[in-house]
Amino acid sequence: MGNNVSFIAAIEVGSHEVFLKIAEILPDGKISEVESMSRTINLGSNSYLLGYITGENIGRLIDTLIDFKNIISAYPDIEVIAACTSAVREANNSLFLIDQVYRQTGFKLLVYSNRLEIAAMLRAIRLKMPEFDQLTEEPTLFLDIGAGSTQLTLFDKGEFAFTQNILLGSLRVRDRLSILEKHTADFIALMREYISGDLDYYRSFVPKKTDYKNFILVGNDLDIWRYLADIPLIGTAELSVEKFNELFDIIIHNSSFELMRKFDINQEQATLLLPVSMVIKEMFEFTGLDRVILPDVILADGLIAKKAEQINLIEKDQRLLNYTLSFAKQIAKRNHTNLKHLEQVEKLAMQLFDQFQEQHGLEPRYRFILQIAAILHNIGKFFTVKQDGEIAYEMIKSSDLIGLTNQEIELIALLVKHHTDDFFTLEYEKMFLTSQEQLNFVKLAVLLSMANALDTGHKSKIKTITTKVRKRHIRVILESNQDLTLESWSFQKVAEYFQEIFGDELRLSIVPEKENN
């Protein structure tokens, strides 16, 4: 393989299909799909109904992955990334499945959370749909219908305004409600009532007067809609509300067997049409739009982009980091926190991280984690002042802060929970942190606690922080034109923690603000 050519294979183990995509990363950074294929394996019905994936389906999955491995082996020096979603993630025997896959195929299956799935999908869309950023300058509903769940995301002014994951996946809804079909005279009305009820959670959280301008829809079950609507199977396409309603009317008035004959599709496709169409119908009515945009994107496309970033074949997407930050700020805003205080603590925490880089030695990713923690550090106070850390911890753990791993979410939640505690009396054994994770946590917690202490009165008195390393101490220089007596007093306790952890004494100096700053 030439120096300027690289191949990446992505394997997506979905809830009822397993996908393989192979792409070539061109010298200009563009991603060109070489081949793709999929096989139907209904892992989701096992996981969602039984709580585990049967040995038979694990065997089918491994056979499929072995076939994929043989195909991948034809490409020289190819990089491989493999990930699984909700079916494996929710299965009680997921650890055993992942181990069997690795031992028999050599593939290391990454378990993707909803947060990572959203980030991967958005990364792929921004690569394959250049107009996405322009569209999201206006109110845009981004809907990802999976087999296990549905993710609804609102964009506005180019920012990630809100997201909600609802257990309304096509496969999950079909299997969950199938038992009721024989017990009701109007199954269509029952399913619509069920779906509409769950979608009310999204409708109740987003701004009531949102004037939607765009509706973007993705999902692994949408190829069938392109086929039924006679629109191109490749590339970004549009489906009008008129064409959708025409097909919707056919779907709700015909059985799955009749749909199989009418459209020449298989039983699995026919039985999933109804729940998917119900969700789309609800969102058409909710947004009042006359079309939906269908990007040609699945999770495997995002996995390819992720691997290409990791091996430096394409540039990292900074927009995704901004999405996470903007959503964190929305969480803080919805929980009625003091936004000026949050902005000040965020600013000071970033300055402290940069100024003490030599002392803490943490990688740049931890700067981003500290920034999210600073934004969210007071979200629990809306519910209670006495136990706000406990509340905030649970809120962050259950949030959809995109692009963050479960370990990073845990670290952020712990920082918010304990940033005002005595770091030497914490019960670290209950945090299930490795020794290195514990060290990183304490370093970040001290920086967050210090930033919070320097805005004790919530008056944003300090403009900038700089440091000067002396022989026996570090001089911390605060630039301010205001009285910092309260902030200096609050700083002293945190300075003691700093000295114990980093071995350096901190001494404060206060200087007037510079006129040219």
Domain spans of the chain, in order of start: 6-114+302-310, 130-296, 318-511
CA 30 to chain centre: 24
Residue 1, pLDDT > 50, answer no
User: Rounded to whole angstroms, how far apart are CA atoms 496 and 10?
Assistant: 49
Q: What's the confidence (pLDDT) of residue 206? A: 81
- Does residue 128 contact residue 236 with C-beta atoms inside 8 Å? yes
Q: What's the confidence (pLDDT) of residue 5? A: 58
Q: What's the confidence (pLDDT) of residue 516? A: 63
User: Rounded to whole angstroms, how far apart are CA atoms 477 and 353?
Assistant: 14
Q: Would you give the DSSP letter of residue 454?
A: T
Average pLDDT over residues 216-233: 92
- Does residue 14 contact residue 220 with C-beta atoms inside 8 Å? yes
CA 302 to chain centre: 12
Average pLDDT over residues 70-98: 96
Q: What's the confidence (pLDDT) of residue 63? A: 98
* Range scoring the smallest mean pLDDT among 112-116, 183-187, 247-251, 437-441: 183-187
Domains 6-114+302-310 and 130-296 share a fold: yes
Residue 440, pLDDT > 50, answer yes
Cross-strand pairs, 110: 83
Residue 513, pLDDT > 80, answer yes
Q: What 3-state class would DSSP assign to 172?
A: helix
At 130-153, the pLDDT tens digits run 999 999 999 999 999 998 899 999
Domain 318-511 CATH (choose: 1.10.3210.10, 3.40.50.10170, 1.10.10.10, 3.30.428.10): 1.10.3210.10
* Range scoring the smallest mean pLDDT among 39-48, 68-77, 204-213, 299-308: 204-213
* Range scoring the smallest mean pLDDT among 89-98, 200-209, 251-260, 275-284: 200-209
Q: In percent, how much of the chain has pLDDT > 90?
A: 79
**Order of strands across the sheet with 150-156?**
159-166, 150-156, 140-145, 214-218, 291-294, 237-240
Q: In percent, how much of the chain has pLDDT > 70?
A: 98
Q: What's the confidence (pLDDT) of residue 431? A: 77
Q: What's the confidence (pLDDT) of residue 429? A: 67
- Locus of tokens 């495997």: 300
Confidence of residue 7 (pLDDT cuts 50, 70, 90): very high
User: Rounded to whole angstroms, how far apart are CA atoms 489 and 431?
Assistant: 30
Domain 6-114+302-310 CATH (choose: 1.10.10.60, 1.10.357.10, 3.40.50.460, 3.30.420.40): 3.30.420.40
Confidence of residue 307 (pLDDT cuts 50, 70, 90): very high
* Range scoring the smallest mean pLDDT among 87-101, 173-187, 275-289, 484-498: 173-187
Listed in sequence order, the residues at least 6 apart from 320 whose beta carbon sits closer than 8 Å to its beta carbon are: 119, 122, 123, 402, 403
Q: Is 408 exposed, middle or buried (0-12, 13-18, 19+ CB in 10 A)?
A: middle
More confident residue, 274 or 432: 274
Closest CA to 443 of 477, 415, 470: 415
User: Rounded to whole angstroms, how far apart are CA atoms 212 and 220?
Assistant: 24
Confidence of residue 2 (pLDDT cuts 50, 70, 90): very low
Confidence of residue 303 (pLDDT cuts 50, 70, 90): very high
User: Rounded to whole angstroms, how far apart are CA atoms 150 and 493?
Assistant: 47
Cross-strand pairs, 32: 24
Listed in sequence order, the residues at least 6 apart from 323 whose beta carbon sits closer than 8 Å to its beta carbon are: 119, 122, 159, 160, 402, 403
Q: What 3-state class would DSSP assign to 104?
A: helix
Rg, C-alpha atoms of the chain: 26
The mean pLDDT of the chain is 92
At 259-283, the pLDDT tens digits run 999 999 999 899 999 999 999 999 9
Confidence of residue 109 (pLDDT cuts 50, 70, 90): very high
| Alpha helices (runs of H) in 288-397, residue ranges in sequence order | 299-310, 318-334, 339-355, 357-360, 364-376, 388-397
Q: What's the confidence (pLDDT) of residue 174? A: 87
Cα distances from 30 to residues 3, 285, 305, in angstroms, run: 15, 37, 10
Strands 109-111 and 140-145: unpaired
Average pLDDT over residues 233-246: 95
Strands 6-13 and 79-84: parallel
Nearest 10 degrees: Cα torsion 134, 137, 140, 146: 60
User: Rounded to whole angstroms, how far apart are CA atoms 405 and 299?
Assistant: 16
Q: What's the confidence (pLDDT) of residue 238? A: 96
The one-letter code for the residue type at 240 is: S
**HEC string of 261-284?**
HHHCCCHHHHHHHHHHHHHHHHHH
Query: What CATH number was assigned to the domain covering residues 130-296?
Result: 3.30.420.150
- Does residue 156 contact residue 140 with C-beta atoms inside 8 Å? yes
Helices (H) and strands (E) counted in the chain, each on its own, are 21, 14
More confident residue, 396 or 201: 396
The one-letter code for the residue type at 480 is: S
- Locus of tokens 């079309």: 291
Q: What's the confidence (pLDDT) of residue 202? A: 81
Average pLDDT over residues 12-17: 95
Closest CA to 192 of 300, 299, 275, 128: 275
